[in-house]
Structure formats: C-alpha cells, structure tokens
Amino acid sequence: MTTDVLQIELRKAERSRIQEVDFNNLPFGKHFSDHMFVADFIDGEWTSQMIVPFDNFTLSPALSSLHYGQSIFEGMKAFKNEAGEVRLFRPYENFKRMNESAKRMCMATLTEDVFMGGLEALLRVDADWVPSSPESSLYVRPYMFATDTYLGVAPSKTYRFCIFTCPVGAYYSKPPKLKIETEYIRSAPGGVGFAKCAGNYAGSMYPTLLAQQQGYDQLIWTDAREHKYIEESGTMNIMFVIDGKLVTPATSDSILKGVTRDSLLQIARSMGIEVEERLVSIDEVLTGIESGRLTEAFGAGTAVGASPYALIGYNGKDYMLPEYGPTDSVAVKLRDQMNAIRTGQVEDTFGWVHTV
C-alpha cells in the first residue's frame, strides 16, 4: 500500500479537548476527537486532502445530498493494545463496502490511498483519543455526501469524504425486546438494503417508533415479498443458535453484509461450531423457541459486537428466550473472542488487525 502522507495537509487544533472527556464514562457518539479528515472529489479526482480541527462545515442550502440523499457512511472501531499500539479491525472490509455503497448510489468511489491514507493519518494525529481500557474503543465514522449545488435530480459531480472519530465505552444494556415487523420493510429485492446509505436509516425510524410504543426496543425485519423470512434486526445482522448450530440469514441485496457477522461466523467455525447461512423463516424461529431447539437470538454489528435478545414478539405474542449467565452463551463467547483479537489479548490468526 502506498500512503503518501505528504499529500495530506495538516492543520492542528490549537488546543486539545481531550481533558474535557471522562474516559471512564463514555456515551456512544457524543464526544468527538480533536481532528477530522476531509477530501473533496472535484473534476473526477480526490483533491485537497486535509486533517483539520473537528468543526462545522459551511454548506449550500441547495446541497444535492440534502435533497436527494446521495449520502453513505461506514462504521468501524480502533483499539489500543497493552503496548499502546493503535489497531484497526478489518478496515479494508469497510473500504470495499463503502465503494459498493457508492456504486449503488451512483457516487464517486474512493481510492485506497484516500480511504486508508486518510484513516491512518487521522488515527496517528488523534492516537491519544483511542481508549485503552477494556471494552472501550475509538469508533471511526467515514462518510461521503454529494456536494453539487444543483436542484436537478442527477448524480452529483462533486462529493465530500470525511472521517471523524468518537471514543466509546462498553455497550451494556439489558437484553432488548424485539418485534418481528410484518407490515413495513427496510429493504426489498433490487433495492438498496445492502448499501450503507443514509435513507435506509431514515426509513426505519417510524416503524421502530411504533414498535417502541408497543413496549419493544427494536424490530426484526422480514422479507418484502412474503414477510415470511427473517432478514436483519434494527441496524444489525441477526443470528440464532438452533440445535447448537450458529444460523444466520444468507446475505442478499436486501441484507447488509456486516463485517461483524462475517467475523463471528469465522470465529465460530474456528471454534468447531457448525455454521449455516440460509433462509430462516419466522415459523422456524418461533417453533424453535417453543420447542427449546432455538436457544439464542442476537444482533451482530460493530457498535455492540453481539447483543443477546430477551424475547421476540410476533402478532401480539411474546416468545421468551432463555437467560444466560454473563459468559455462558454462544453469543458472548464469540463476542469475547472477537474482542480479544481486536485488543491483542489473543493472537490474530485471521490477519484482521491493521496496526496503524
């Protein structure tokens, strides 16, 4: 990889805000590190790469991404090992996926130089912001949006790519209650569900609010055609333990290919747990809970790792999942192993960690 750091202009913050942050009490996504990386796509090229203090943008009211939604993002985490080295978890997967999202939304794609070079340079400048306490990490948010000031509905010719970061703490919550959604959809075949594009999240908020008014925390999305098969949960992939096997819906154009999903599947295989990627019907899940063959259901995503569910609601009936001790479930075993790889407590036999 060629990372020509000289291309990146660095304007450092006059004073760091790091003293204002309580690293023992980090809420998700509220504290922003001192700097951000910015690059603009103009005349067919990524130009003016800069690391500047985290600050507001000045934007035109006619900015096309605000009107027509050419806006995509990524999310990944960086960790510090005992030696103080900054370790990114599988960043090339996020790079590849960002370009898949960009292609689907008819946006400019990123070069590896800009994505990885900007990411590494930013993490070097803000290395002090990477928490070292167990289960804390630096959440990294790369994103890109259209910047043409033109009201015609057409792909923008100019884009801004930005990366900023947030130190985040352990994500402890009591196991959420999930509702199987059979009216609204998150995505459909031929649509944009596999892309991490802004509008997907906007569209999911109202159905989620309705479920919360019924006492649930999150939704389980089902297929758009029949509402018969499980797709994802909230903004995460979903996994089940059925007959001792790790079972998850196979990815498609209506399911986002999570890096966490892939990591947990690979870790499970390496531990000798059988893995199945296939269609998972609502009926299989509910009868599985009732018969005791389905022993776990959990969400998989960067923010939480693996998040075990308390219950699944369907058509007004709640199906309780078994409760586990803090380290007894397959979900937590897989999550802990993934975290140990990320922080360097165990050897990274997969080659996933990218040291900055």
Ligand X SMILES: *Cc1c(COP(=O)(O)O)cnc(C)c1O
Footprint of ligand X on this chain (CB under 6 A)?
A: 75, 196, 232, 235-237, 256, 258-261, 301-302
CA–CA separation, 122 and 356 (whole Å): 10
Q: What's the closest the beta carbon of residue 10 comes to ligand X, in angstroms?
A: 29
Query: Nearer Cβ to ligand X, position 49 or 339?
Result: 339
325 φ/ψ sector (left φ>0, alpha ψ -120 to 50, else beta): beta
The kind and range of the H/E element at 41 are strand 35-42
Query: Nearer Cβ to ligand X, position 49 or 235?
Result: 235
Q: What's the closest the beta carbon of residue 336 comes to ligand X, in angstroms?
A: 17
Query: Nearer Cβ to ligand X, position 99 or 302?
Result: 302
Q: What's the closest the beta carbon of residue 312 comes to ligand X, in angstroms?
A: 18
DSSP of 182-239:
SSS-S--TTSSTTS-BHHHHHHHHHHHHHHHHTT-SEEEEE-TTTS-BEEEETTEEEE
Query: Nearer Cβ to ligand X, position 246 or 256?
Result: 256
Query: Nearer Cβ to ligand X, position 321 or 338?
Result: 338
Q: What's the closest the beta carbon of residue 139 comes to ligand X, in angstroms?
A: 10
Please give the structure tokens belonging to residue 186. Answer: 């998150």
Query: Nearer Cβ to ligand X, position 150 or 184?
Result: 184
The kind and range of the H/E element at 123 are helix 112-125
Residue 168: φ, ψ to 5° = -130, 150
Q: What's the closest the beta carbon of residue 169 comes to ligand X, in angstroms?
A: 17
Residue 274 vs residues 226, 240, 248, 256: alpha-carbon distances, Å:
28, 12, 11, 22
Query: Nearer Cβ to ligand X, position 8 or 256?
Result: 256
Residue 68: φ, ψ to 5° = -115, 0
Q: What's the closest the beta carbon of residue 54 comes to ligand X, in angstroms?
A: 22
Q: What's the closest the beta carbon of residue 286 comes to ligand X, in angstroms?
A: 22
Query: Nearer Cβ to ligand X, position 57 or 171?
Result: 171
Residues 6 or more apart in contact with residue 61 via CB below 8 angstroms: none
DSSP 133: S
Q: What's the closest the beta carbon of residue 318 comes to ligand X, in angstroms?
A: 24
Neighbours of 55 (CB within 10 A): 10
Residue type, 290: E
Residue with tokens 């690391």: 51
CA–CA separation, 76 and 259 (whole Å): 9
246 and 267 Cβ atoms separated by less than 8 Å: no
Query: Nearer Cβ to ligand X, position 51 or 249?
Result: 249
Give Cα 87 to chain centroid, integer Å.
17
